[in-house]
Protein backbone atom coordinates (compact mmCIF):
# COMPACT_ATOMS: atom_id res chain seq x y z
CA UNK A 1 0.00 0.00 0.00
CA UNK A 2 1.04 3.63 -0.40
CA UNK A 3 2.84 5.32 2.47
CA UNK A 4 0.41 6.21 5.29
CA UNK A 5 2.82 7.81 7.80
CA UNK A 6 1.37 10.97 9.28
CA UNK A 7 -2.21 10.05 8.45
CA UNK A 8 -4.76 9.80 11.25
CA UNK A 9 -6.93 6.66 10.87
CA UNK A 10 -10.70 7.18 10.97
CA UNK A 11 -12.28 3.92 9.76
CA UNK A 12 -11.50 0.57 8.16
CA UNK A 13 -14.05 -0.89 5.75
CA UNK A 14 -14.43 -4.66 5.63
CA UNK A 15 -12.17 -5.55 8.52
CA UNK A 16 -12.92 -9.26 8.16
CA UNK A 17 -9.48 -10.18 6.92
CA UNK A 18 -5.87 -9.07 6.75
CA UNK A 19 -5.97 -8.51 3.01
CA UNK A 20 -5.56 -4.74 2.98
CA UNK A 21 -9.10 -3.47 3.39
CA UNK A 22 -10.04 0.06 2.30
CA UNK A 23 -9.37 2.69 4.95
CA UNK A 24 -10.33 6.29 5.65
CA UNK A 25 -7.77 8.75 7.02
CA UNK A 26 -7.35 12.44 7.75
CA UNK A 27 -4.08 14.03 6.66
CA UNK A 28 -3.63 17.01 8.98
CA UNK A 29 -0.60 18.22 7.00
CA UNK A 30 -2.33 18.25 3.60
CA UNK A 31 -3.91 21.28 1.95
CA UNK A 32 -7.61 21.62 2.86
CA UNK A 33 -8.74 20.38 -0.57
CA UNK A 34 -6.85 17.07 -0.07
CA UNK A 35 -7.20 16.46 3.67
CA UNK A 36 -9.52 13.40 3.58
CA UNK A 37 -7.78 10.28 2.25
CA UNK A 38 -9.48 7.04 1.21
CA UNK A 39 -7.19 4.12 0.38
CA UNK A 40 -8.20 0.91 -1.34
CA UNK A 41 -6.84 -2.60 -1.00
CA UNK A 42 -4.76 -2.18 -4.18
CA UNK A 43 -2.61 0.64 -2.81
CA UNK A 44 -4.45 3.46 -4.56
CA UNK A 45 -5.80 6.53 -2.83
CA UNK A 46 -8.35 9.27 -3.32
CA UNK A 47 -7.86 12.62 -1.65
CA UNK A 48 -10.70 15.10 -1.17
CA UNK A 49 -11.77 18.06 0.91
CA UNK A 50 -13.89 17.72 4.05
CA UNK A 51 -16.74 19.41 2.13
CA UNK A 52 -16.54 16.82 -0.66
CA UNK A 53 -16.47 14.01 1.89
CA UNK A 54 -19.47 15.51 3.72
CA UNK A 55 -21.37 15.56 0.44
CA UNK A 56 -20.53 11.89 -0.13
CA UNK A 57 -21.73 11.00 3.38
CA UNK A 58 -24.97 12.95 2.83
CA UNK A 59 -25.64 11.10 -0.43
CA UNK A 60 -25.00 7.76 1.29
CA UNK A 61 -27.29 8.58 4.21
CA UNK A 62 -30.02 9.59 1.77
CA UNK A 63 -29.78 6.17 0.10
CA UNK A 64 -28.52 7.54 -3.20
CA UNK A 65 -25.59 5.12 -3.23
CA UNK A 66 -27.49 1.98 -2.29
CA UNK A 67 -27.60 0.77 -5.89
CA UNK A 68 -23.82 0.69 -6.05
CA UNK A 69 -23.64 -1.99 -3.35
CA UNK A 70 -26.04 -4.24 -5.23
CA UNK A 71 -24.65 -3.69 -8.73
**Domain locations in the chain?**
8-63
Q: What is the pLDDT of residue 3?
A: 57
Q: What is the DSSP string of 3-68?
A: --TTPEEEEES--SSSS---EEEE-TTS-GGG-EEEE-TTS-EEEE-HHHHHHHHHHHHTTTTHHH
Regions of the chain with pLDDT less than 50: 1-2
pTM score of the predicted model: 0.81
* Amino acid 33: pLDDT: 97
How many angstroms separate the CA atoms of 51 and 42, rounded? 25
Amino acid sequence: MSEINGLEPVATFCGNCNCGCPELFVDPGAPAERRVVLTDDFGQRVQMSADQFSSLVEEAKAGKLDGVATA
